[in-house]
A and B are shown apart, each in its own frame.
Chain A
């Protein structure tokens, strides 16, 4: 048994933290929030050049050929820095589907595009009802040149800056995933509470794509992409929780009321201890799940779902209590805490909330 990181993994974390400390400051996040496009081109270039999009992509497809442990290390760090870039949407939501798609030219094109950072890909799954793992209305039909897709996708993360959309639509008695050029669809950004990660409505009014753009079927994918996505979001939540915990501990040491640091009041110190407990628990779950996915262990799905639940708990509790520990200053727009609070809320409600994932855990443990 060894639950420690390799030297390379430690190095990856260290270099990521350094880069992010310089390039992904709260000021950069605020600029992206306020901007029209919600996108920082030069920041994305930095990420692309570092190869961060290709961490979990095989070398043969232009990636770094590492695994989900390394991917989790990176996302924990980007969470810690509330990275305002369409990174999680690409590597956390879209990439798992592409990696598990049928081998072929389209998959290679997508993987290589993602690995190089030249292609941003968004997952267009949910519809009007906001349900994650539910029957879909969007439907594809076979046509002469390929498939024609009709439907409306809602809550699509970072669609407004994506090149390709992975559109999930009904096909015969299954569903299928199509790679659709974003330019062929009508994308309307929606006012999102985390404006560094905007949601959009995507309309597909009879968009026709070639048959090579059908990259996967529902039956072949199963829950495997969802395991990876759950893991990645949980890693981000861990990073968010860790950062607000650090901010709060620091503040509790400095801020004095009644002639003492507020951290000396147990009402405060116990909150901080609970934050640590939840954050460490989420972190343990995340790295176990990452390892389990990399190794393909039989409990990988259960581990990922558990990580998701632990991540939600940590992110929600830590960001809420961080505001409380900070008092009035924590409730201001000027203070950075709300950036983390918004990100944690996004992570909590996106891709199935705690209820959905606890239910998934329950199903899996009941089946054993």
Chain B
């Protein structure tokens, strides 16, 4: 056991830190969403990351990546969070579509898509969820029917983050309606500019429009745009969902650590019952509890990483990590407003800490236990697959 960086790791960490310091957009704010006004800045930022060789760090060099080791990816995501660099615009392309294409795509597909994912030239979205298929993703009904050398796609998707600016979509569609639920699904790469694709923005409770509904009416998708085999889409989708977590956990834990630091700073300058909130025993207890949880996140992540590096097989810590992060981050969001008292009710005012960004973060955190697997579903997965408990019938 050794929790210190090796000399090589420390040197890599310094490179990352120096580069980010020199290049990140001035006034960079982490944790804010992809709002209309920020898209241009985020595009430019991603291009810069790519040019610097920092996009798709873990991807093989032949596809434009850096071929970095897992530990280097972790170091990068920690430093990235620490620098409070803005979110990566093509997060679904880099984090989900790309790795799935690398794992299951043909050479042609890899050459066609991967480089443009990294540069941010083409933005991707994830068309999995449907109105009737959220937690029960296998119930999806969007259909793809072979006609000549095309699939004809019809159906509706929902909660599709970034669809309003996306060029491509990883889409799950049913190609065999007679097969058992999970056996008749295919994994398509759909050009969002195709005739018959309609995107309607949905506003989130934060007030921002970051996700969308998508309607597909007789959309023609070339047969070549399938990933893997017809009806083998479920298996491939599992690759995508695995990557949805990836090294993200490290970034999230570091981010939570930073936000906790901000909460502590705020508690020092905010008065509660006539003295700094940081002296209030209840505030102290809650900050302390959050520290313990966030450190558990970080250490669980390290342990999972070591397991993967030694055995190549991820342990159960993935679901645990997402569950812990979602629930802690919501509590952190609540505490950030509570420390401020009535100022916690203000969005963007000098009277509110951090100029009201915390109201956004607080609201946004409410989705953490819904997106990428609800907390209830994660607990089911842990109970059934890790603990071996009987399945709910």
Partner among B207, B274, B280 whose Cβ is within 8 Å of the Cβ of A355? B280
Docked complex Cα distance between A194 and B337 (Å): 14
Cα-based distance from A327 to B283 in the complex (angstroms):
30
Q: Is the CB of B345 within 8 A of A331?
A: no
Residues of A within 8 Å of B280, CB to CB, are: 355
Of B159, B338, B366, the contact of A323 (CB 8 Å cutoff): B366
Contact A131 B273 (CB under 8 A): yes
Stretch at the interface among B241-249, B298-306, B347-355: B347-355
Q: Taking CB as reference atom, which chain B residue is nearest A191?
A: B347
B residues whose Cβ falls under 8 Å from a Cβ of A: 129, 132, 134-136, 139, 158-159, 202-207, 270-274, 280, 282-283, 330, 334, 337-338, 340-349, 351, 356, 359, 363, 366-367, 369-371, 374-376, 379-380, 392
Residue in B136, B345, B367, B376 whose CB lies within 8 Å of A199? B345
A22 interfacial by beta-carbon distance below 8 Å: no
Q: Which residue of A lies closest to B369 (CB)?
A: A324
Give the contacts of A238-275 with B (CB-CB under 8 A).
256-259, 265, 267-268
Q: What residue of chain B has the Cβ atom nearest to residue A266's Cβ?
A: B392
- When the two chains form their complex, are residues A350 and B282 in contact, meaning their CB atoms are under 8 A apart? no
Interface string of A180-205 (1 = CB under 8 A from B): 00000000001111100001010000
Report the nearest B residue to A195, measured CB to CB.
B347
Inter-chain CA distance A333–B379, complex, in Å, is: 27
Q: Which residues of A contact B270 (CB under 8 A)?
A: 129-130
A126 within 8 Å of B (CB atoms): yes
Tell me, in angstroms, the Cα distance from A129 to B159 when the chains sit together. Answer: 40
A121-153 interface code vs B (CB 8 A; 1 in, 0 out): 000001011111011000000000000000000
Closest CB in chain A relative to B163 CB, distance in Å? 14
Tell me the minimal C-beta distance from B35 to chain A in angstroms.
Answer: 13
Is the C-beta of A60 less than 8 angstroms from some C-beta in chain B?
A: no
Range class of the A interface residue count? 35 or more
Contact B134 A355 (CB under 8 A): no
Instruction: Tell me the chain A residues, 77-117 only, with Cβ under 8 Å from chain B.
Output: none
Give, as a whole number of angstroms, the nearest-CB distance from B355 to chain A.
10
A366 within 8 A of B: no
- Set of chain A residues within 8 Å of B205, measured between Cβ atoms: 323, 330-333, 335, 337-338, 341
Asked if A345 is at the interface of the complex by the 8 Å CB criterion, the answer is yes
Q: In the complex, given contacts A155-B343, A323-B366, what are 17 additional A-B residue pairs having Cβ atoms less than 8 angstroms apart?
A: A130-B271, A130-B340, A192-B346, A193-B345, A258-B136, A258-B139, A267-B380, A324-B370, A324-B375, A327-B134, A330-B205, A331-B370, A333-B206, A334-B203, A341-B366, A349-B342, A353-B338
Q: List 10 A-B contacts (CB under 8 A).
A: A131-B272, A190-B346, A190-B351, A259-B136, A267-B376, A327-B374, A330-B370, A333-B202, A338-B363, A349-B345
Distance in Å from the Cβ of B365 to the closest Cβ of chain A?
10
Q: Of A129, A191, A337, which contacts B271 at CB under 8 A?
A: A129
Within 8 Å of chain B (Cβ to Cβ): is A278? no
> Interface code A303-342, partner B: CB below 8 Å = 1, 0 otherwise?
0000000000000100010011001101111110110010
Contact of B356 among A191, A256, A341 (CB under 8 A): A191
A191-B349, A199-B345, A350-B345 known; A331 and B367 CB under 8 Å? Answer: yes
Q: A residues near B, CB below 8 A?
A: 126, 128-132, 134-135, 154-155, 190-194, 199, 201, 256-259, 265, 267-268, 316, 320, 323-324, 327-328, 330-335, 337-338, 341, 345-346, 348-350, 353, 355-356, 359
Question: B287 to chain A: closest CB distance in Å?
Answer: 13
> Which residues in B have their C-beta under 8 angstroms from that of A333?
202-207
Which A-B residue pairs are the 8 nearest by beta carbons?
A333-B203, A338-B205, A130-B341, A267-B376, A155-B342, A257-B136, A191-B347, A328-B159
Which chain B residue has the least Cβ–Cβ distance from A157?
A: B342
For the complex formed, measure the closest distance between the CB of A29 and the CB atoms of chain B, giving whole angstroms: 14
Residue contact B359 to A193, C-beta cutoff 8 Å: yes
What CA separation (Å) do A337 and B282 show in the bound complex? 29
* Inter-chain contact A355/B282, CB cutoff 8 Å: yes
CB neighbours of A257 from chain B (8 A): 134-136, 139
Neighbouring B residues of A338 by C-beta, 8 Å: 205, 363
Asked if residues A131 and B136 are in contact (CB atoms below 8 Å), the reply is no
- With both chains docked as a complex, state the minimum distance between the C-beta of A150 and any C-beta of chain B, in angstroms: 20
Partner of B345, one of A131, A192, A323, A327: A192
Please determine whether A345 and B345 come into contact, CB atoms closer than 8 angstroms.
yes
Task: Give Cα distance in the complex from A355 to B342, angstroms.
Answer: 13
Q: Is the CB of B136 within 8 A of A328?
A: no
- Nearest chain-B residue to A271 (Cβ)? B376
**Residue of A with least CB distance to B133:** A257
Selected contact of A332 from candidates B132, B136, B204, B349, CB within 8 Å: B204
Assembled-state Cα–Cα distance A357/B313 (Å): 51
Q: Is the CB of B134 within 8 A of A265?
A: no
Residue numbers in A under 8 Å from B359 (CB-CB): 193
- Bound-state Cα–Cα, A337 to B363, Å: 12
B345–A346 touching, CB < 8 Å: yes
CA distance A192 to B348 in the complex (A): 9
- Complex CA distance for A350 and B338, rounded to whole angstroms: 10
- Is A193 a contact partner of B273 (Cβ separation < 8 A)? no
Q: Which residue of B lies closest to A199 (CB)?
A: B345
- The answer on a CB contact under 8 Å between B341 and A131 is yes
Most buried by B among A265, A333, A359: A333
Residue picked from B202, B341, B347, B375, most chain A C-beta under 10 Å: B341
- Determine if B202 and A355 form an interchain contact, defined as CB atoms under 8 angstroms apart: no
Q: Is A193 touching B370 in the complex (CB atoms < 8 A)?
A: no
Bound state CA distance, A359 and B136, in angstroms?
A: 45
Query: Please, how many angstroms separate the alpha-carbon atoms of A258 and B270 in the complex?
Result: 48
The answer on a CB contact under 8 Å between A134 and B366 is no
Collect the chain A residues with CB atoms within 8 Å of residue B370's CB: 323-324, 327-328, 330-331
